[in-house]
Amino acid sequence: AQQEVAQRVRADLLEHFADETVADVLEEMSPDEATDLLAELPDARRQGLLKLMEADEAEEVRELLRYDEDTAGGLMTTEYVSVLPDMTASQTIEHLRKVGEEAELVYYVYVTDAEEHLIGVFSLSDLIIAQPETPITEFMHKRVVSVELDTEQDEIAQLVARYNLIAVPVVDAENRLHGIVT
């Protein structure tokens, strides 16, 4: 019931504000939340708002709108932290200080190669206890539990429960990281 009320309030707000104001608000939201809101609108209004948004934010939302809302692609956020495998623990901490505010949750740091293939993951606790000059490849977990873009919500929930995860990475058929489901 609370969710229905929140959706009605959001819809009412969207009806009473100018498109430029709504676009500004959408840009400040996380991409997955902006996508949820835009998905409720008629197509013409949605396209108009996307045109008013900054190009980068609009592109992320367009990407998320392509997926069914009950799949990993529709549920994921594109706000995650990834690093390259040649970094040390201290370099990674410095990187997190710069980019951490942009991510929705930083519990896990994903390790990707130059083509965004998911090759490892580590937690913040793994990072903090590592010696500063230790390469992340020495403490990252190479076996990563992940889901594909079209994985159904129920299957994601089962994986989260089975492995006691806070977030699950979402990959495509080539194992390229697209987002996380939290």
Please check the confidence at residue 6 and state whether its pLDDT lies above 80: no
Residue entry with tokens 């929705």: 104
Name residues whose C-beta falls within 8 Å of residue 127's C-beta, 6 or more positions apart in sequence. Answer: 89, 92, 93, 96, 109, 136, 139
| Residues 127, 93: Cα–Cα separation, whole Å | 8
CB 82 within 8 A of CB 110: yes
Please check the confidence at residue 170 and state whether its pLDDT lies above 90: yes
Please check the confidence at residue 2 and state whether its pLDDT lies above 70: no
Please check the confidence at residue 34 and state whether its pLDDT lies above 70: yes
* pLDDT of 142: 96
Closest to 123 measured CA to CA, from 144, 107, 143: 107
Question: What totals of helices (H) and strands (E) does the chain contain, helices first?
Answer: 9, 6
Q: What is the pTM of this model?
A: 0.79
Q: Is residue 23 very low, low, confident or very high in pLDDT (cuts 50, 70, 90)? A: confident
Which two structure tokens, joined as six digits, stand for 83?
């690093």
Give per-residue pLDDT as tens, 54-79. Answer: 988 888 888 888 898 889 998 998 88
